[in-house]
Structure 1
């Protein structure tokens, strides 16, 4: 930088210094810069300021003196001295700092010897000065010796140079500092404005400084970044980052690619330049975000690959031929098109010319020469002959590309293999000719219409059939051909074609002579020569219409026949719509045929809104469409009053000429009356069965009552013979027990006779029942029991009854001569495998087989009916009772039989999962018990009286109550008086009052330890079957013997004793 003298010296300070020197030495001085500016000055001598410089003539001399000094400054050593014409000495010392002349230090005026006063008197006169004043001024001029002058000048020069030098250094340092500050500010500005990220880190990886670009790059604020380390920001492995830092420190610098983790989780790819500054022990670096560049490079590679692939797929090769250098480039695809190997063969323009078909070379050479000469692009198809003799057709395009200097000229272009296109083009030409031949040879007329309905093409059949020439027809709108009756429908039909893409309809076209031709139009929307058109095939249906009319007449004839049939008759299409219906069907549904035709069959027949098979009905028509075979079904229809009609439907397929089922004929036979007659027959049959049952019951009970009355009458006649009375009464008692067994069997059959189940083993039950049933018979038996036979939950008594009934029947069937085979085994039954066992599961199978007369097939379905029997002395209740018992056990009985071959009854009983069989309780022994207090509740007075007598006969005290409320009151009072009842016997059912179930519940609320017995004539009652669950301790089934009463009371009184009552 170029400085001025006033920049180097503190002018004000130096002025003071000069003033002091002038006061001491009376030596005026001044500092003047190169531009003549007086920077400092002390008082000049009066002789100059008041005389020489103010007089015009003498002032001119002063100027010449100044010019002399300035022109001789280069001779200064250290100053230039000059004796002016006025007799005074002036002195000038150049101020030069580091070789640069900044200004001059002037001194004067002075004398080096005593002045010649006479000289100055003369000079005063010459210039007209006041002599006295002038001489006085001369006397004030100092006189110096040369040595004093030199010392003074050297001092002044040195002082100026020192002061100026210091000033210069200070200025330079200030300038340097300013430049440094400016550079730092510029650097900081550059760092803050630059797009590259800048960072400073210590050798541990802690970031010390970053610019804004780096913060933007990683997504963090500057404060956040300066709290982080480089490994934390890096997306690379920490060990790799640490090794990279060590490499920078070791090698002093490094350039590499790195990955940073953005705050949002994304990864940034960056080029990194880093340098280690050992004097500051830091690393500085720059990150340039190249993520987009890398992506662009990847995209470029992908595009290049796609371009190559596109060239391969499109069979387009590219080439360049530098006409200046002769350099040739072919793409790989061009090599492949020419049948060459890019790895083995080289691009050669002469070789390519040799491969071009000789007939095509002149044309190709011509267009290439014109392109080079006129810079006009070319496009041409030509053939090439490959090394293997194959001929291909190429489409070549090229252009001239000139360099910026216009000296580089390159011919660039592409070559596409269009062999297959040419073949297809030829095939298309041939196809077009074939299409036209087919178009014109069609026996149906063909119209092509534009979207406005104008005929733009028609085949030969179309215009000849209508009596027009082709040109005449192509000038018409389709509305001109339509009969007026059909033109009103034309817009709607065209709209339907546009919306649905196709439409088929009937119309009528007018021939040129005005006659009408009925036609069927099959029109669709197609693309034709780049435009959408209506492509319509027109079929002359004159013959069809004639045939249809004949058919209609024929159908009318058939219809007349069908209308005479009593059965309903309808034809149903595949959409389940009625096509035709006879009068009988119309009468059934209560509609006229014009209200039926076209409607869904399920809507008319069933009066529902969806197909009957979706409502769970069996549909014969649907099965015809599915199987193609005739089908039948039973349906419920509704008549006009919505009454249910039971109909039998039969459906038969109707097929077209190709064998496809187009519709179905359904006959509808009203069998409502027939079904009602059948129901009446079944009701009559049921009444007959009930009559048979009632007759059987009356017969059996009359026989038993006859025996009872007889024995009692005979006892009354034998009052004097006690033994005979006892005998007659025993016989009457036995007859009564037979009556009990009969009622039990009837209950079991009618209501099920709920079993009182417990876990039992079947082996002893089966064996004992068989032995008992065959006792006294000559029939033998064979038992085959599986060793691992599963136990069952069953009523042992009921199960014994079943086995005995079946074995007795077997014995009767064999007339007491033969062998009954009884087997029992485990059976695992799959669900649905055996009718009657839909769930399947674990069962025990008991099979009882005889070799008797067998059962006739007509009787197999009736053997379980009550009172049905084929035996002379049979009751008809045995098998009916057995069936009910097994059913109530969750099992079934299956029968198979052949006449004269025998029968097999197979019983399936659910097996128990419990294997712990309870031991059968031993018969109670007759023991002596204390007298007990018994409370008996029964609503029948006869039962109360008899039971009270029986209890008294057993040695106990009995009190009776007619209902539950009375019994509860008696029980409470006896308990409060200290004479509680030991046992309470409660009748289960009390007409109009509280029964045993409610009574025992109330008694247990009063006395949880009450001992109660349920007594009932209903062996099938739930409470009887599971008495303990209802709070009872025992059960007495009416009627009961005194022995049963005794055993029951003895056991319960013993229990009462044990409980301390």
Structure 2
């Protein structure tokens, strides 16, 4: 019979343990038991107990042995020791506490360290938790239920609070119902509590991410009914959560995508993942294009569909703009008056425009199958290889050739070839211009030169061209006859070696000296034969006024009238030639200005789209694509700078530049200039030390030109600075009415003998510098012209090997000017 009793006690203990595990808060891997589950447990326990009772003989006999004093205490202790969990027994009358070794070990104690009194339990329990226990001194003894459970913190031996689950059952009560003896179990739930905390944190983080993202998120059941949606979806679509939950997402899909919904669902259920584009109808009837990424997930222990919709409105607008731009480019490509060819590096044709097809007489498909030598004359075909070598060396080249039409006729062309990056590959872009008219004009000029030479040779006057060293550059037949030498023997000779008529009494060639000084002079000389000669000198000047030589005309004035008539004719001819040269120069300037504007239009698109690529607006890029995008942007910016310089020079050459003077903030102008070169600073790892005095704020100037001034100065400072160097920018007032700007670098510096010529057009330190650092030599020339237009000054101080400082001085309180001014700038 004792063995059956032990089994009942063990079964009771097991049931307490099972209930304690079931009552623990939900944790990973555990499920909460419902009331129905408890009913089944009780029923199971009842049948097991009934089976034991039937074997023992009667229910009352078992009850007496279990819950009366007749039950031997050592049997209870034996049953407690057999259970592999913390088990305790509390005598409420005596206040004694009896625990097994598992109870002690759970808290890190040896069983001998546990004092057999309830006060020891009180000492170990957390004060906030002890007062909630059913059997402590704060509760009336009759209030203790037959079965109870508490979760409390107890102090482990190593000084850490540890969570345990305390389950108890009242075994004996006295006549008044007060408990006399309580037994129970104690379970370590510290890891479960930590897991609960982590789950709560994970749940909070999920909710935060779910509702804080800008993308629209929907969770749907497998019938595509909405179970949950985030705040972004509600806000962007204009529907409340109550309006959407329980409905199908297809209800707000625009009509044009309805037919694709079933296709999307089939693909999703087949592959468990699907990405597609659609559009939603918002509550205000606006259409929202989205890219939806859907996948099958588990949500609340069942399969569900997670859909993340990304707003692609901006992308659609960019795609539309790109399509329009491509159509515009294609229109220009096919309608421009020049032939355009795109080739790979092996000179295979990849693309041609309609103008090329029309001029050469081929269809596009036929032309794309030809090689360059098929459309060039036999005399020019051998030059293709050398042109390719030059293009590879300099990335650009301008050549002249003759194209061969399908019908065998030819026409002269000018080829402008450049190496470009297209889809990450090097390509050759060639623009071909029909120069038939230009060649005809050049032939006319050559004919005119021949006619002019014939005219000069037919004159009786002796005409001599000379340089600044007073050496003869050309002489007509009359002069050569007078010198008694062939023309080839006269050219290169000094004046005093061959021309006694031009030498004065002091042995000087007065006329040529006057020419060099820019002075026209007329003198008379008498030769030993008694003939009187009129000697006139005409200095030859460049367009900017610099003298580069002269013309000397010697005339036998004995036939003066006839000679005067010839001179007048000659002067008229010179005037006409001068006008023609001016006309050609004007056409050149207009061409440069038009070319600059035409280049800037597509270049702006190149820069804009490279910025979109760089900012990842058009999608993620791999490392190669990022480098290609950066190269496009950097070289496009460089080309834009060159075009701006070209345009500025064309304006300078035309003699007038338009300036719009207005109030501008100096500090903002400097910040903007630094922002424009930020990428170059970053590429070389250069830091900027900026010091702008609070005493300066506004000045009257042309903002665009000031920006160009600052950009050129900063660009030079970056270009000639070392990697990881530093540039210092300072701005302050000087003497109250002058703005002083200083830009200093610690780069290579400038030799002293170059400082005075830095602001000369096209000045370069030397060819090796140009190859290493690039540049056209026009930046500082432009800066000087801008400063002169503002009545300021600019100069440079430098020490070779240590760095350079550019000084700019501008008036802060200048005289008020008109909104627009055309300022004539001197040529220098």
TM-score (ref. length: structure 2): 0.31
Question: Which structure is higher in RCO with an 8 Å CA cutoff and minimum separation 6?
Answer: 2
